[in-house]
Amino acid sequence: MARLTYLSHSGWLIESAGYKICIDPFLDGNPLAPVSAKEVKADFIIVSHAHGDHLGDAIPIARASGGQIIANFEIANYCQAHGAQTHALHIGGAHSFPFGRVKLTPAWHGSSFPDGSYGGSPAGILLTVEGKTIYHSGDTGLFMDMQLIGEMNPVDIFLVCIGDNFTMGIDDAVKAVELVKPKLTIPMHYKTFGLIDVDAGEFVGKLHQKKFRASLLQINQSYDF
Ligand code: NI
Ligand code: MN
């Protein structure tokens, strides 16, 4: 059994087979974060893109816990230069780690570091642990190839951005679910700040009307799978 915990925004903690894997740990400077970066230990930290609300505290967490950052080549280089252990991947590529397999998917977005330097292509993340595949959309607009991602990698849990303004909003995210056809959908990237303060309950309701399984995970709430 594995455990998925919502760290708010696009941040998640996955515990599986004795490993702790963080995705997009934006904690310090995030008004909704349930824990501070100091309180998080991670063996692996997966980063979808370089924006501050996703790269977040990946480097300090990796340095403090000796964990490895998994991200695109440009982000891996940047993090390595800042003293973190890294493993570089790029879009379409997958690698098996001790905890499971990670593959980067396309995402339509930008990716610059807080200092404005280039962070490579933004990504979505396919993470397979204990035979279950999680698809973390990253920050993205809607794109038709999500259908291909779902066909090639049957998705058990779809963590999808819904906050609008910078990413898909509710209706585009509903369409994304129709393309990906996951077994369960959980929304993310909403409410953290005013521009993305959408009603996640409306999103879940629209999915239920279309007979898709969807749940809200409260911040710091866990889901076992
Ligand atoms: Ni972003
Ligand atoms: Mn973002």
Q: Count Cβ neighbours within 10 Å for each residue of 64-91 and write b for 16 or more, e otherwise.
A: ebebbbbbbebbbebbbeeebebebbeb
Q: What is the pLDDT of residue 132?
A: 98
Average pLDDT over residues 124-141: 98
**What superfamily would CATH give domain 3-218?**
Ribonuclease Z/Hydroxyacylglutathione hydrolase-like (3.60.15.10)
DSSP string, 9-53: TT-EEEEETTEEEEES---TT-TT-SS-GGG---SEEE-S-SSHH
Cα separation values, 54 from 47, 128, 182, Å? 6, 20, 23
pLDDT in tens, 1-29: 999 999 999 999 999 999 999 999 999 99
Centroid of ligand 2 to alpha carbon of 211 (angstroms): 28
Domain assignments of the chain as residue spans, ordered by start: 3-218
Ligand at shortest distance from the CA of 122: 1
Centroid of ligand 1 to alpha carbon of 88 (angstroms): 19
SS3 174: helix
**At 135, is the pLDDT very low, low, confident or very high (cuts 50, 70, 90)?**
very high
Q: Kindly report the average pLDDT of the chain as a whole number.
A: 98
Centroid of ligand 1 to alpha carbon of 10 (angstroms): 10
Q: Which residues place a Cβ less than 5 A from the ion ligand 1?
A: 51, 139
Centroid of ligand 2 to alpha carbon of 218 (angstroms): 18
Ligand at shortest distance from the CA of 51: 1
**At 82, is the pLDDT very low, low, confident or very high (cuts 50, 70, 90)?**
very high
SS3 78: helix
Q: What is the pLDDT of residue 207?
A: 98
pLDDT in tens, 160-169: 999 999 999 9
pLDDT in tens, 26-55: 999 999 999 999 999 999 999 999 999 999
Cα separation values, 13 from 44, 98, 114, 222, Å? 10, 16, 23, 9
Please give the model's pTM, rounded to 2 decimal places. 0.98
Centroid of ligand 1 to alpha carbon of 26 (angstroms): 12
Burial class (CB in 10 A: 0-12, 13-18, 19+), 185: buried
Q: What is the pLDDT of residue 164?
A: 98
Ligand at shortest distance from the CA of 24: 2
Centroid of ligand 2 to alpha carbon of 223 (angstroms): 23
Average pLDDT over residues 63-76: 98
Ligand at shortest distance from the CA of 109: 1
Element (H, E) at 203: helix 200-209
